[in-house]
Amino acid sequence: MSVEPADISLPGDEEKRRGGLAQTLALLGRSGSFVIGFGIVAFWVVCALFGRHFVPYDPLADDIINSLKPPSAEHWFGTDQIGRDVFSRVIVGSRDILMVAPLATLLATVAGTALGLVTGYFRGIVDEVISRIFEAFMAVPVVIIALLVVVALGPSTTTVICVIGLSFSPLIARTVRSAVIAERELDYVSAAKLRRENTLYILFVEILPNVVPSILVEASVRLGYAIFVVATLSFVGFGIQPPSPDWGLSISSNYGMIGGGYWWTVLFDALAIATLVIGVNLVADGVQGALDA
Amino acid sequence: MRAILSFLVQRVSLSLVTLFLLSVMVFIAGQVLPGNVGRAILGPLADMRAVELLNTQLGLDRPILVQYWDWISNFVQGDMGTSYIFRAPVAPFVFEALGHTLKLAAVALVLVVPLGIAAGVVAALNVNRPLDRIISLGGLSATVLPEFVTGIVLILVFGVWLQWLPISAAWPPGAGLTTQIYYLILPALPLFLVLFGYIARMARSGMIEALDSDYVRTAVLKGLPWRTVIWRHALRNALLPTITVIASQTTYLVGGVVVVETLFRYQGIGSLIFTAARGKDFPILEAGILTIGIVLSIATLLADLLYSVLNPRIRLGGGR
């Protein structure tokens, strides 16, 4: 004989929650930084998805006779050292980084949330051990940890996604952990314990929904930093691999000629990275503002 | 004093644990993950016997724990092993490169700490006016941009177009300290930009909080000149959280330094690590990364110490 746990939610609860979502979206729409950031990010996402179909040249096709031509009517951003059209490359170059960085962030968020829930809820020895391992991970810059793993396993997109995802997970775990520590003392958790819900249920059904705002803010900040790290890794040769028209990769193969005045081979890629990173950070800023309100 | 000492002992033992775990991670990544190190060095076409011979020569056929103990006990005594590529002891390479890196980091820090704090204080004294907006937004945008991106733009503007500064950090041999610093200004600027925003933001919020406090109000009400209130009362308290931030940013600073070194062809520890990584020279790679970890732990310790000396709540053993 089992007694169904009583439904203790009030009739208005569900509507209130939905109202909260609509309110948050309205706040986002009114936040200037979110709208501008969202516009920039949306532009690059469109380029990543469909750029291939509307660029004037094949981003990988060389044309040695027309190499290193400055910007002109035929080649808006000029051509690089083997005559590839820089404009087409910059547009299509958004694709790999916009696949790798969000996937790495997703992995970091999932792993970090799980770890943060466990360490924040149980505390004690589990928390202590995991925190020490996290600290070792964060003792050297992410770029260097990533470099070490990429060298050991060989460069591939999957390796880059995994290593960035895993090195960011402690940071997300730390945020989730402190949110969980605040939540676990609240009455609804005690109530769930008294109802003898199992621990997984308490963690994922009771506590998780209440820490989602902190997770969202942290994840959006991490996305900006993931783009930072992917671009940097590609620049030093251990991220996205040739023949991709990736921005960091293009800069790394062209900056050697910078003293010769071939500014167009690197400037537009640099500006592309700058706009994307700033766009994502503006979005993160807007999300943070709307959820804090 | 005893409070500081016990605090110090606690922090040192924590960083030793961290460094031990880091060394295990570095060892696993360098010696275990690549699978057959001899094969990785010699390439896929090499003869099986040559690969095995190389592995035996490098001592890679021994049990993992023996290899780890051998590596770490030698490392602690200053023997970082022998480079696969240069066929020479690793330590001199690492120390020379580390010296170059610290020089670059020092130039960046000397520029950014006073300017960042000054900008934060100016922003706090002009809260929500245009000047504050410009400093805050500018600082934030500069902070999020990768160093090699700002570095490229800075090289183009100051090195190629205006021709004010050299575009490479490799100064002529025998150059004096001033010349060296002159060559390091452009490489230090991208690092400056990343740290400037963080420091200015912390100094700003610390200053706003301090200006809002009762002791500042008391100081104003008892008729002290505004200048004295700012310098003697508000600024001191505002700087405490800023010091913590500067310390916590040393990891980012070093992460940025290694990339900037590549961009400016500067022979620091970052260039050394990347060169080693491309050549699969694991002894240099491992020693370089562990050295960076040690330097960063020391930096964090020094910052903790400074913080505890400056913060009376920790110095006098109160608080926690």
Average pLDDT of chain B?
A: 82
Domain extents in chain B: 90-315
pLDDT along chain A (293 residues), means of 10: 47 51 76 86 91 81 77 80 82 90 94 89 81 78 84 84 89 87 85 86 86 87 90 87 86 81 84 92 85 71
Nearest to A139 among B141, B277, B296 (CB): B296
**Residues 99 through 138 of chain A touching chain B, CB cutoff 8 Å:** 132-133, 135-138
Q: To the nearest whole angstrom, how far is the Cα of B218 from the nearest Cα of chain A?
A: 32
Length in residues, chain B? 320
Among the residues of chain B, which ranges form H helices?
2-27, 37-42, 48-57, 64-76, 90-125, 130-144, 147-154, 177-211, 214-221, 226-228, 235-248, 250-263, 269-278, 282-310, 312-315
What DSSP character marks residue B30?
A: I
Indicate yes or no: CB of A266 within 8 angstroms of CB of B278. no
pLDDT tens-digit profile of B217-245?
888 888 888 888 888 778 877 777 777 77
**CA A181 from centroid of its chain's CA atoms:** 25
Q: Is the pLDDT of residue B83 over 50?
A: yes
**Position with higher pLDDT, B44 vs B107:** B107
- Name the burial class of residue B279, with classes exposed (0-12), middle (13-18) and buried (19+) by CB atoms within 10 angstroms of its CB: middle
| Residue A155: predicted pLDDT | 79
For the domain B90-315, what is the CATH code? Answer: 1.10.3720.10
pLDDT attached to residue B243: 76
Residue in B19, B159, B277 closest to A238 by CB: B277
**Inter-chain CB proximity A139 and B22 less than 8 Å:** yes
Tell me whether residues A258 and B155 touch, CB distance under 8 A.
yes
Write out chain A residues lying below 8 Å of B153, CB-based: 267, 270, 274
Predicted pLDDT of residue B241: 73
Which of A226, A229, A241, A222 has the alpha carbon at shortest distance from A174? Answer: A222
CB distance B104 to B266 below 8 Å? yes
Q: Residue B312: what pLDDT? A: 66
Residues B274-298, mean pLDDT to the nearest whole number: 86
Instruction: Kindly report the nearest CA distance between residue B131 and chain A, in angstroms.
Output: 18
In chain A, what residues touch B289 (CB-CB under 8 Å)?
140, 144, 148
Percent of the residues in chain B that have a pLDDT greater than 90, as a whole number: 0
Model confidence at B320: pLDDT above 60: no
CA distance A99 to chain B (A): 18
pLDDT in tens, B186-198: 889 999 988 888 8
**What ipTM was estimated for this complex?**
0.81
Which chain B residues touch A278 with a CB distance below 8 Å?
141, 144-145
> Do residues B245 and B199 lie in contact, with contact meaning Cβ atoms separated by under 8 Å?
yes
| Total residue count of chain A as it appears in this document | 293
Measure A265 CA to nearest chain B CA, in Å. Answer: 11
Q: What is the pLDDT of residue B283?
A: 85
At residue B317, the pLDDT reads 55
Distance of alpha carbon B298 from the chain centroid: 11
pLDDT band at B315; cut points 50, 70, 90: low
Nearest CA in chain B to A147: B277
B233 min Cα distance to partner chain A (Å): 31
Asked whether the bond before A243 is cis by omega within 30 degrees of 0, the reply is yes
B20 to chain A: nearest residue by CA?
A136
Higher-pLDDT residue of B40, A104: A104
How confident is the model at residue A186, as a pLDDT?
85
pLDDT at A80: 79
**Nearest 10 degrees: Cα torsion B273, B196, A259, B171:** -60
What percent of chain A is predicted at pLDDT more than 90? 15
Question: Looking at chain B, which residue has its C-alpha nearest residue A280?
Answer: B144
Tell me the chain B residues in contact with residue A90 when contact means C-beta distances shorter than 8 Å.
none
Other beta carbons less than 10 A from residue A191's beta carbon: 13
The residue ranking higher by pLDDT, A24 or B15, is B15
Quickly list DSSP for A195-257: TT--HHHIIIIIIHHHHHHHHHHHHHHHHHHHHHHHHHHHHTTSSSPTTS--HHHHHHHHGGG
Q: Answer whether A255 sits within 8 Å of B152, measured CB to CB.
A: yes
Q: What are the distances in angstroms from CA B29 to CA A169, B18, B23, B71?
A: 19, 16, 10, 14
Listing DSSP states for B134-175 in one string gives: HHHHHHHHHHHS-HHHHHHHHIIIIIIIS--S-SS--PPTT-
pLDDT higher than 80, residue B40: no
Q: Which of A221-230, B2-11, B73-82, B121-130 has the highest mean pLDDT?
A: A221-230
Of A17-31, B4-18, B102-116, B293-307, minimum mean pLDDT range: A17-31
Non-local (6+) Cβ contacts of B80 within 8 A are: B74, B89, B90, B91, B94, B283, B287
Average pLDDT over residues B9-13: 84
